[in-house]
């Protein structure tokens, strides 16, 4: 449990830590009283940044969250601000599983009989949404995907109101009338929704575009097929329309094989249209429209029914992180993850570069040695690939991360790992694999936000919890993405991006556990279709495939 001061101005996260985090901007010369010590700040310390509580020699180890996160590059007197100039990345090594992990889960008695209203599939998975999915096997079909998207969305009532098109239309009208454009305030223009959905039980028709499928390595094309197969099997998807050129590496039979690997009894409609076998492009698209419309009409017959909470599959993610993410939003999500795990649901934690420095903790939490060994193997293979192209996990923090207090990858990772909670690691998956076991699963993905959220949807996640300290519009075509702010200022400043606010943890108004329980209640409503996330309202359907090979 984190120890906070009465005034909530600075924080020691773990008893082993030798730095404090500023919860508010601190001025040079401020006197700090902590744990029986009195110290004076040598530097101004912006909120979210860290300062020393003892004199530290050059090469001294810095601990946060109880783990090694860096080493000093010069002598730092007590009260010094940590910066990229005086601190370099460092993390503990890791090896084999060396302890038996025991876990006492949170009390979930009040949720045992709770349900959400989801879409039950033939394979016993339960979706939180009912989507028809349209995807290409190769980038050559992206224009045809866009043609179908333009044809379907408005005519069936799924297009979001176009605020900006309306603004341009209004400007054009006023210009024609000779009005003074300097007096116009576009922000005051109302936006009218004209949605009248033809299929009330179908939450939408979703379209994916990507730049893969050919021109790269066969490994990349196979991985793309595996990822797309996961989208097909995801219970949020009712049926799929596939466009194929015909000559690409990512062949239809590979996609079908990957689907069977994930679900041998796959029974959803899979409509495939191959352009090089069609009489013409227009003939192919007309047939795709006809068959897709028929499929959507059939999918509309599926209605929401009660499902127990063990049917939830929750992905946990962070992006645009700041110095508060690992103190508020990530631990809140971690507590929610523990609640879901204790109820028998599935949790997926990804972003392997952001587990650098906490590997041994996760290894020791693995349910068995085989799972631990798989995690070690995947981490080392990923690190070796990064180093082979002149990079490394230590280069992970972005300029935004650094500006807001995450100045080494180990600092970022120690906070990021909190999203996974404390439950045992039941499984470890490679990129493109599908979740298999209840409890916590580690999924190998990059730290790139969208490459990671894309992979978690492909692994079967039906809801994703995404923490952010700086703000991001990130969403996903088939898996609702919930944006959780690490600080209240962000939640107030970008309400069109943020769904939930974990800032009350920083101010001391609420505990991690209280907000974690509130988050589970929010998930139940979201999973039941009672509301959409901000990203869904924006139509933010991001999809980026992780290419690891060269282009050939």
Look at 47 and 185; give whichever has higher pLDDT.
47
With cut-offs at 50, 70 and 90, classify the pLDDT of residue 335. Answer: very high
What is the mean pLDDT of the segment spanning 339-346?
98
**Looking at residue 191, what is its pLDDT?**
62
Find out whether 214 and 455 touch, Cβ atoms under 8 Å.
Answer: no
Q: Give the chain's mean pLDDT.
A: 92
Tokens of 50: 């860290």
Which residue carries 């990822």 as its tokens? 227
What is the mean pLDDT of the segment spanning 285-294?
97
289: left (phi over 0), alpha (psi -120 to 50) or beta: alpha
Count of C-beta atoms within a 10 Å radius of residue 206: 23
Q: Which residues, including other chains, have CB under 8 Å from residue 140's CB and lie 6 or more apart?
A: 213, 214, 245, 248
Helix then strand then coil, % of the chain, to nearest 5? 35, 20, 45
What is the mean pLDDT of the segment spanning 202-215?
95
Task: State the DSSP H helix or E strand holding residue 463, giving kind and residue range, or none if neither.
Answer: strand 463-468
Straight-line distance from the first to the last Cα atom of the chain, in angstroms, rounded to the nearest whole number: 52
Of 523, 454, 538, 543, give the one whose Cα is nearest residue 128: 523
- CA-based R_g, the chain, Å: 25
What is the mean pLDDT of the segment spanning 127-139?
98
Given a cut of 90, is residue 97 above it in pLDDT? no
**Looking at residue 276, what is its pLDDT?**
97
**Looking at residue 403, what is its pLDDT?**
81
Phi/psi for 463 (5° steps) reads -150, 145
329-342 vs 512-527: helix crossing angle, rounded to 10: 60
**Percent residues over pLDDT 70 in the chain:** 95
Cα separation of 441 and 454, whole Å?
16
Cα separation of 519 and 501, whole Å?
10
> Hey, which residues does 34 pair with through a beta bridge?
37
Which residue carries 């523990």 as its tokens? 338
The stretches of 159-308 forming alpha helices (DSSP H) are: 163-176, 218-233, 252-262, 281-299
Ranges 14-18, 182-186, 242-246: which has the least confidence = 182-186
**Looking at residue 92, what is its pLDDT?**
79
Ranges 5-19, 107-121, 373-387: which has the least confidence = 5-19
pTM of the model as a whole:
0.91
387: three-class secondary structure by DSSP: helix
Work out whether the CA dihedral 21, 24, 27, 30 comes out positive or negative: negative
**Looking at residue 401, what is its pLDDT?**
81
Rounded to whole angstroms, what are the CA distances from 393 to 89, 96, 322, 383? 9, 20, 18, 7
Tokens of 360: 């041994």
8: left (phi over 0), alpha (psi -120 to 50) or beta: left
Q: What is the CATH number of domain 10-89?
A: 2.30.130.110
Q: Which residues, including other chains, have CB under 8 Å from residue 169's CB and lie 6 or more apart?
A: none
> Hey, which residues does 443 pair with through a beta bridge?
429
Ranges 42-51, 58-67, 169-178, 425-434: which has the least confidence = 169-178
What is the mean pLDDT of the segment spanning 290-310?
98
Given a cut of 50, is residue 377 above it in pLDDT? yes
What is the mean pLDDT of the segment spanning 462-489?
97
**Looking at residue 79, what is its pLDDT?**
92
Find out whether 330 and 416 touch, Cβ atoms under 8 Å.
Answer: yes
Q: In what order do the strands lie in the sheet with 439-443?
A: 425-429, 439-443, 346-349, 313-318, 463-468, 481-485, 500-501
Of 337, 428, 338, 444, give the one whose Cα is nearest residue 385: 444
Rounded to whole angstroms, what are the CA distances from 68 to 52, 89, 406? 14, 9, 14
> Can you spell out the DSSP letters for 28-55?
TT-EEEETTEEEE-SS-B-TT-EEESS-
**Looking at residue 552, what is its pLDDT?**
63
Given a cut of 80, is residue 163 above it in pLDDT? no
Ranges 104-113, 174-183, 419-428, 523-532: which has the least confidence = 174-183
Count of C-beta atoms within a 10 Å radius of residue 159: 16
Return the domain boundaries, the chain: 10-89, 131-165+193-301, 316-538
With cut-offs at 50, 70 and 90, classify the pLDDT of residue 61. Answer: very high
Tokens of 293: 């419309």
Q: Which residues, including other chains, have CB under 8 Å from residue 102's CB and lie 6 or more apart?
A: none
Q: What is the CATH number of domain 131-165+193-301?
A: 3.40.50
Find out whether 243 and 149 touch, Cβ atoms under 8 Å.
Answer: no
pLDDT digits (tens, 9 = 90+) for 218-271: 999 999 999 999 999 999 999 999 999 999 999 999 999 999 999 999 999 999
What does the buried/exposed string (b/e) look like for 261-271 if buried means 16 or more CB atoms within 10 Å of the residue's CB?
ebbeebebbbb
Look at 392 and 85; give whichever has higher pLDDT.
85
Given a cut of 90, is residue 95 above it in pLDDT? no
218-233 vs 252-262: helix crossing angle, rounded to 10: 50
> What is the DSSP-derived secondary structure letter of residue 423?
S
Given a cut of 70, is residue 193 above it in pLDDT? no
């Amino acid at each position: 449990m984190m120890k906070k001061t009465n005034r909530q101005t600075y924080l020691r996260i773990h008893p082993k830590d030798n730095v404090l985090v500023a919860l508010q901007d601190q001025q040079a010369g401020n006197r700090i009283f902590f744990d029986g010590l009195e110290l004076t700040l040598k530097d101004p310390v912006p909120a979210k940044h860290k300062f020393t509580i003892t004199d530290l020699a050059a090469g001294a180890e810095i601990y946060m969250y109880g783990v090694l996160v860096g080493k000093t590059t010069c002598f730092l007197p007590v009260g010094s601000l940590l910066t990229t100039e005086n601190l370099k990345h460092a993390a503990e090594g890791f090896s084999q599983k060396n302890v038996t992990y025991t876990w006492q889960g949170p009390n979930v008695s009040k949720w045992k009989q709770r349900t959400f209203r989801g879409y039950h599939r033939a394979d016993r998975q339960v979706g939180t949404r009912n989507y028809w999915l349209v995807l290409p096997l190769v980038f050559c079909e992206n224009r045809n995907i866009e043609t179908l998207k333009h044809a379907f969305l408005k005519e069936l009532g799924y297009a979001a109101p176009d605020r900006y098109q309306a603004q341009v239309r209004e400007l054009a009208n006023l210009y024609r009338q000779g009005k003074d454009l300097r007096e116009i305030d576009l922000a005051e223009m109302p936006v009218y929704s004209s949605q009248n959905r033809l299929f009330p039980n179908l939450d939408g028709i979703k379209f994916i575009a990507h730049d893969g499928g050919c021109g790269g390595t066969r490994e990349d094309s196979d991985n793309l097929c595996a990822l797309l197969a996961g989208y097909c099997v995801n219970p949020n998807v009712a049926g799929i329309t596939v466009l194929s050129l015909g000559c690409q590496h990512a062949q239809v039979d590979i996609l079908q094989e990957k689907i069977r690997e994930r679900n041998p009894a796959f029974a959803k409609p899979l409509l495939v249209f191959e352009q090089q076998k069609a009489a013409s492009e227009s003939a192919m698209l007309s047939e795709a429209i006809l068959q897709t419309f028929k499929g959507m009409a059939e999918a509309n017959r599926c209605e929401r029914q009660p499902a127990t909470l063990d049917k939830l599959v929750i992905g946990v993610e962070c992006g645009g992180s700041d110095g508060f993410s690992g103190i508020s939003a990530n631990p809140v999500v971690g507590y929610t993850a523990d609640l879901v795990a204790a109820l028998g649901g599935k949790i997926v934690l990804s972003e392997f570069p952001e587990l650098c420095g906490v590997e041994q903790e996760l290894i020791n939490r693995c349910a068995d040695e085989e799972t631990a060994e798989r995690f070690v193997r995947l981490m080392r293979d990923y690190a070796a690939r990064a180093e082979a192209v002149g990079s490394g996990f230590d280069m992970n923090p972005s300029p935004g991360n650094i500006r807001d207090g995450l100045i080494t990858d180990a600092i970022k990772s120690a906070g990021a790992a909190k999203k996974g909670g404390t439950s045992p690691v039941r499984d470890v998956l490679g990129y493109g694999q599908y979740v298999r076991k209840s409890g916590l699963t580690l999924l190998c993905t990059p730290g790139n936000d969208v490459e990671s959220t894309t992979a978690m949807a492909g692994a079967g996640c039906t809801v994703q919890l995404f923490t952010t300290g700086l703000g991001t519009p990130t969403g996903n075509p088939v898996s609702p993405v919930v944006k959780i702010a690490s600080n209240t200022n962000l939640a107030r400043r970008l309400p069109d991006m943020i769904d939930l606010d974990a800032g009350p943890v920083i101010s001391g108004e609420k505990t991690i556990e209280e907000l974690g329980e509130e988050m589970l209640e929010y998930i139940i409503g979201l999973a039941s279709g009672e509301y959409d996330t901000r990203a869904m309202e924006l139509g933010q359907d991001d999809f980026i495939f992780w290419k690891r090979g060269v282009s050939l």
